[in-house]
Structure 1
Amino acid sequence: MGLLSGLLGNASIISADDMMRQLEPILAMTETVELAFQLIRDQFVFTNKRLILIDKQGLTGHKVEYLSIPYRSITRFSIETAGHFDLDAEMKIWIGSDPMPIVKELRGSDNISAVQKALATAMFSGH
């Protein structure tokens, strides 16, 4: 069901070890991956230092944007869960004093609670 969930847009959990190997070239010396989610081709990675939003672009996915957000920069966030008729869950993250949030849609995600818990844990643990 993991592949089917990914194709339908549901966030699925990725092995932290697999993400560590994939992100090794960009991680800081003492940085470790704690939790990661896959949403079709995009990924949400929670490390012990920051949130990394990975956006694979184009038909081949060779062009990749890595948006790095230190937890201390996140001022607030909101999670909107999917309903019976509206299958899209949504995550909004506000950075610093910017009035416009970063918005990510998680179509029908079963893991939206895990994403919210990871974000809250990272923000409130003093990272």
Structure 2
Amino acid sequence: MGFFDELMGNASEVDTEKLGKELEGVLIPNEVVESGYKVLRDSFIFTNKRLLLIDKQGMTGKKVEYHSIPYKSITHFSTETAGSFDLDAELKLWLTGQTEPIQKLFKKDSPIEEVQQTLAKYVLS
């Protein structure tokens, strides 16, 4: 992940084994990390049970807030690929009870199609 991409808020994919070890105290039995993405110090993780949004706070990042979103709470989602002049891809998630979507930006060569497939796998089943 390039420093410029991080400054622009673009997400990059993170190693799932590393994430699984970091989240041992958060994941429940039989929960597996499917994929994960990082924006600066924050992450969003797709497991076989839920979507985790991880917000590291403060100067040191030792204070961490975990948002757990069951896939059944996602009412719909959209993905947008990067174009010639628009250099980032985008993910939007609408949740039950919220009018504004959660938005995440991905750098141009990020696997936005994989994100869409992961969401479709859990939200549509």
* TM-score past 0.5 threshold: yes
What's the CA shift for 1:24? 0.8
The answer to whether the 8 A contact 2:80-2:90 is kept is yes
TM-score scaled by length of structure 2: 0.81
What's the CA shift for 1:75? 0.7
Matches of 1:92 and 1:52 in 2, distance apart? 15
The answer to whether the 8 A contact 1:11-1:109 is kept is no
Matches of 1:100 and 1:18 in 2, distance apart? 31
Match of 1:117 in 2: 117
The answer to whether the 8 A contact 1:79-1:92 is kept is yes
Match of 2:108 in 1: 108
Match of 2:81 in 1: 81
Structure 2: where are the runs of 5+ without partners? none
Match of 1:70 in 2: 70
What's the CA shift for 1:87? 1.6
Q: Aligned with 1:11: secondary structure?
A: strand
Letter paired with 1:53: L
The answer to whether the 8 A contact 1:11-1:111 is kept is no
Q: Sort the Cα spacing of 1:62 and 1:23 in 2 relative to 1 into closer, same or farther, 3 A.
A: same
Can you list the C-alpha shifts for 1:50-77, whole angstroms capped at 9, x where unaligned?
0111122344322322111100111100
Can you list the C-alpha shifts for 1:61-108, whole angstroms capped at 9, x where unaligned?
223221111001111001122222222322111111422211222243
Matches of 2:111 and 2:17 in 1, distance apart? 19
Percent identity reads 49
Match of 1:57 in 2: 57
Aligned residues: 122
Q: Sort the Cα spacing of 1:12 and 1:88 in 2 relative to 1 into closer, same or farther, 3 A.
A: closer
Match of 1:8 in 2: 5
TM-score scaled by length of structure 1: 0.80
Structure 1: where are the runs of 5+ without partners? none
